[in-house]
């Protein structure tokens, strides 16, 4: 897995360096023994990419305890409450929900009459 990080960084650098290969060097990184030269455009792009990244599991923070461990239903995994307008709506609907009555069981049809309707002509 660490090799994947270095490869990804090296590919990122190469993708951006191609547009401005003579730009001033901003810094150099050494990751797992490999040196990477980050020119100014690469450094700016890397910072921008890192700041723009959003974890797909990030559903905001809990209104009640501030935790960031919210599931997609806005249910807080730390305090157990629902958060936000949608969370309130989900909690309200869940409280109002009642299990529907079970469907009546079907009575078996009289075997003789059905059978005779298929076979008689
Ligand atoms: Zn919470």
Domain for residue 7, yes or no? yes
pTM above 0.75?
no
Task: Flag whether pLDDT at 76 surpasses 90.
Answer: yes
Task: Examine residue 106 and state whether it is found in any structural domain, yes or no.
Answer: no
CA of 59 relative to ligand 1 center, distance in Å? 12
**pLDDT over threshold 90, residue 51:** yes
Residues 61 and 79 in one domain: yes
- In the reported structure, the alpha carbon of residue 85 is separated from the centroid of ligand 1 by a whole-number distance in angstroms of 14
Residue 72: partners with Cβ closer than 8 Å, 6 or more residues away:
59
Distance 57 CA to ligand 1 centre (A): 15
Domain count, the chain: 2
In Å, how far are 3, 7, 27, 39 from 71, measured between CA atoms?
31, 32, 39, 39
Please give the residue that has the higher pLDDT: either 92 or 30.
30
pLDDT confidence of residue 111: 59
Q: How many residues does the chain have?
A: 121
Write down the pLDDT at residue 64: 93
Distance 67 CA to ligand 1 centre (A): 5
In this structure, is residue 105 part of a structural domain? no
One domain, residues 46 and 83:
no
Rounded mean pLDDT of the chain?
86
User: The domain containing residue 81 runs over which residues?
Assistant: 56-97
Q: Are 76 and 62 spatial neighbours (Cβ–Cβ below 8 Å)?
A: yes
């Amino acid at each position: 897995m660490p090799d994947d990080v270095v490869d990804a960084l090296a590919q990122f650098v190469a993708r951006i360096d191609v547009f401005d290969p003579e730009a001033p060097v901003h810094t150099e990184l050494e990751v797992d023994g490999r040196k990477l030269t980050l020119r100014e455009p690469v450094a700016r792009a890397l910072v921008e990419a890192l700041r723009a990244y959003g974890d797909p599991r990030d559903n905001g923070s809990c209104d009640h305890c501030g935790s960031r461990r919210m599931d997609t239903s806005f249910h807080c995994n730390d305090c157990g409450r629902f958060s936000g307008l949608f969370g309130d709506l989900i909690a309200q609907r869940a409280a109002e929900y009642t299990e529907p009555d079970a469907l009546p069981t079907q009575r078996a049809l009289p075997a003789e009459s059905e059978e005779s309707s298929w076979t008689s002509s």
